[in-house]
Amino acid sequence: LGRYRHLNAFVNVANPESVLARVATAAGPSPTDNVDPRSPNGRLVAIKDNICTTDIPTTAASGILKDFQSPLDATVVRNLREAGAIAVGKTNMDEFGMGSHTTHSHFGATKSQVDGTDRSAGGSSGGSAVAVATGQCWAALGTDTGGSVRLPAAYTGTVGFKPSYGLLSRWGVIAYANSLDTVGILGNDVDSVEGVFDITNVHDHQDPTSLDPTTRSCLPIEAPPPSRTLKVGVPMDYNISTLDPVVRKAWLRSLQLLQKRGHTLHKVRLPATQHALSAYYVLAPAEASSNLAKYDGVRYGSRAEGKDGTPESVLFAKTRGEGFGPEVQRRILLGAFSLSAQAIDNYFIQAQKARRVVQQDFDKVFATLNRLNSSEYGNKTEGVDVLLCPTAPTLAPRLSEIQDQKPLHAYMNDVFTVPASLAGLPAISVPIRVDQAPNSENAEATGMQIIGQYGDDKLVLAVARELL
Ligand code: GLN
């Protein structure tokens, strides 16, 4: 980790002696006994710092939780430890998951240096992405509320997977926006990501939003055989005028590759996409303002200095003013406003309606019926199996470029990732190399996103494998 300390990918690391002892006692990975590229046994896994661990503090990169030590492991961490994985450290992030560049952290920004220049690592799981990209771990856990695993993957040239909502337990994961929060996985290839997914994709009775065993049993367990011809949807609404030509070229190249492998391409329309970003930035802060109300320095979080007898309201305000960074404060204000009596009809309710329309758009184009909304399971005669589109409209920006940008600018990075989040669909970002002129200042890779119908996680992973 020392060699990469300047990248600031980790907030805290595990005790090196205990990590070494675990590596020594694990059954693998000696070249002979751990040949399974999907097995986490004996392998190092980094954990985003909003996922609770008993042996390392959990801060969510916030001043308000800077001293928090969880007495329990999150279910996903327990799943991984039971499978032999070694938690190597807690990764840097945007405070409480709010951001797109991992610059809004109490512990300073994470840097990505894929091509020698300091670039945005994406956010909010930027620390996990950089830890994976630099080989400091085999795989990493992140969280994805509106793109926080996929965007960092696209910006760092790694694979980032957001499973269907409700498959991976959120118990022990610090909430940002409950109806959107999903644990996600980052790795350098599809094998490691799928290996972590297989271990963590289990029902958890402690998480009320964990998909119940009966519905789980209706989801496809395996991907279709590689020989099956797939219908790949090309969402024309993602071909926006501000799409970087290099990204558009990589998109075309990926489509051609799938076509060469025998799959067919189909133009589709997802017209509500244009409202998805605004809807997301009303709904996510609304949920966040409610979730973060508990950090008042009395029940939760570090408390600001105050004499005995200081009125509670003064102490709350001081604690929250000191403990939360500016982006989190902005989101709390936004959320509190959109939920207030005078604004709820025009903002929160409208955004909920837009969310429903985004979901319906996806259901219209997929050949498989949505297993959550329809009483019958099966396929329609028309429709596509997966969608292929870019993960982000541009390559990873330089850190110097984003320093003075307005908050709204950062929100725009999420324009292609939030629709799948609003609909709870599985989506993966895979790195596609881009052509560059010699000495070009461009990043080396961009991310292509594969989106599937709810529960088609294995299909999405299989298509990702074909693209890599
Ligand atoms: N960038 C988005 C936001 O700030 C998404 C974050 C996430 O997925 N946690 O809300």
Instruction: Summarize the confidence of residues 100-110 as an average pLDDT.
Output: 97
What gap in Å lies between CA 163 and CA 460, rounded to an integer?
A: 9
Ligand 1 contacts CB of residue 100 (under 6 A): yes
125 Cβ inside 6 Å of ligand 1: no
Which residue from 272, 315, 281 is spatially nearest to 296, judged by alpha carbons? 315
Q: Which residues pair with 161 in a beta bridge?
A: 185, 428
Q: Quote the pLDDT of residue 438.
A: 56
pLDDT-based confidence at residue 391 (cuts at 50, 70, 90): very high
Confidence grade of residue 312 (pLDDT, cut at 50, 70, 90): confident
Task: List % helix, strand, coil for the chain (3-state, nearest 5).
Answer: 40, 15, 45
Mean pLDDT in residue range 85-109: 98
State the average pLDDT for the chain: 92
Pocket of ligand 1 contains residue 29 by CB under 6 Å: no
Ligand 1 atom nearest to CA at 410: 1
**Residue 327 CA, closest ligand 1 atom number:** 4
Q: Ligand 1 centroid to 221 CA: how many Å?
A: 29
Q: What are 254-303's pLDDT values in tens digits?
A: 999 999 999 999 999 999 999 999 999 999 999 999 999 999 888 776 77
**What is the whole-number distance in angstroms between the Cα of residue 151 and the centre of ligand 1?**
9
The residues assigned a catalytic role are 48, 124, 148
Instruction: Find the mean pLDDT for residues 393-406.
Output: 92
* Residue 148 alpha carbon to ligand 1 centre in Å: 5
pLDDT at 317 over 80: yes
Instruction: Point out the ligand 1 atom lying closest to the alpha carbon of residue 99.
Output: 4
Written as six digits, the tokens of 167 are: 């498959």
Structure confidence at residue 376 (pLDDT): 62
Q: Which atom of ligand 1 is nearest to the CA of 143?
A: 9
Percent of the chain clearing pLDDT 90 (strictly above): 79
**How far apart, in Å, are the Cα atoms of 336 and each of 282, 293, 340, 344, 414?**
10, 10, 6, 10, 22
CA 340/CA 322 separation, integer angstroms: 24
| pLDDT tens-digit map of 434-444 | 876 555 656 67
| pLDDT at 329 (0 to 100) | 97
Q: Looking at the 3D structure of the chain, how many domains does it have?
A: 1
Give Cβ neighbours of residue 155 (< 8 Å, ≥ 6 apart): 112, 119, 120, 121, 122, 126, 129, 392, 395, 396, 443, 447
Q: Is residue 39 part of a domain?
A: yes
Find out whether the beta carbon of 457 lies less than 6 Å from any atom of ligand 1: no
Most ligand 1 atoms within 8 A of CB, residue of 145, 149, 329 to mutate: 145
Taking residue 444's Cβ as centre, other Cβ atoms within 10 Å add up to 14
Closest CA to 339 of 272, 288, 412: 288
- Does a structural domain hold residue 282? no
pLDDT score, position 443: 63
Residue 176 beta carbon below 6 angstroms from any ligand 1 atom: yes
Looking at residue 86, its pLDDT comes to 97
- Centre of ligand 1 to C-alpha 176, Å, is 9
State CA 32 to chain mean position distance.
33
Predicted pLDDT of residue 225: 83
Give the H/E segment covering residue 286.
helix 273-291
User: What integer is the mean pLDDT of 67-73?
Assistant: 95
| 103 assigned to some structural domain | yes
Report the Cα–Cα distance between both ends of the chain, in Å, rounded. Answer: 27
Pairing of strands 139-144, 44-48: parallel
43-52, 92-101, 212-221, range with the lowest pLDDT: 212-221
Spatial distance between the Cα atoms of 367 and 294, rounded to a whole number of angstroms: 43
Cβ of 145 closer than 6 Å to ligand 1, yes or no, is yes
Structure tokens that stand for 226 in this block: 């590689």
- At 34 the pLDDT is 57
Q: How far is the CA of 177 from the centre of ligand 1 (A)?
A: 9
Q: DSSP assignment, residue 294?
A: G
Contact 353, 413 (CB under 8 A): no
Question: Does residue 119 contact residue 113 with C-beta atoms inside 8 Å?
Answer: yes
Residue 306: the pLDDT is 74
What pLDDT is stored for residue 442 in this prediction? Answer: 62
**Domain boundaries, position 34:** 2-217
Q: Which atom of ligand 1 is nearest to the CA of 148?
A: 8
pLDDT above 90: residue 178: yes
Please check the confidence at residue 35 and state whether its pLDDT lies above 90. Answer: no
**Ligand 1 mutation target, pool 91, 102, 124, most atoms within 8 A of CB:** 124
The response to whether residue 146 sits with its C-beta less than 6 Å from ligand 1 reads yes
DSSP assigned state of 201: -
Q: Cβ distance 367 to 382 under 8 Å?
A: yes
| CB 362 within 8 Å of CB 423 | yes
Residue 166's CATH number: 3.90.1300.10
Share of the chain above pLDDT 70, in %: 94
Q: What is the pLDDT of residue 439?
A: 57
Question: What's the pLDDT score for residue 2?
Answer: 77
The residue to mutate among 141, 148, 278, having the most atoms of ligand 1 within 8 angstroms of its beta carbon, is 148
> CB within 8 A of 194, min separation 6: which ones?
38, 461
352 found inside a domain: no
> Has residue 399 got a pLDDT over 80?
yes
Ligand 1 within 6 A of 327 CB? no
Alpha carbon of 147 to ligand 1 centroid (Å)? 6
* Within a domain: 231: no
> Is-contact 252 243, C-beta < 8 A?
no
Q: pLDDT tier at 393 (50, 70, 90 boundaries)? A: very high
Q: Is the pLDDT of residue 107 over 90?
A: yes
Confidence of residue 1 (pLDDT cuts 50, 70, 90): low
Distances, alpha carbon 292 to alpha carbons 61, 326, 460, in Å: 14, 14, 33
Give 29 Cα–ligand 1 centroid separation in angstroms.
35
| pLDDT for 18 | 85
Task: Evaluate whether 421 touches 451 at the Cβ level (below 8 Å).
Answer: no
pLDDT score at 463: 97
Q: Is the CB of 270 under 6 A from ligand 1?
A: no
Note whether 83 and 40 are within 8 A (CB). yes
Domain membership flag for residue 41: yes
DSSP string, 29-69: -STTT---TT--TT-EEEEETTB--SSS---TT-GGGTT--
Indicate which atom in ligand 1 lies nearest the CA of residue 97: 9
Within a domain: residue 79?
Answer: yes
pLDDT at 24 over 90: no
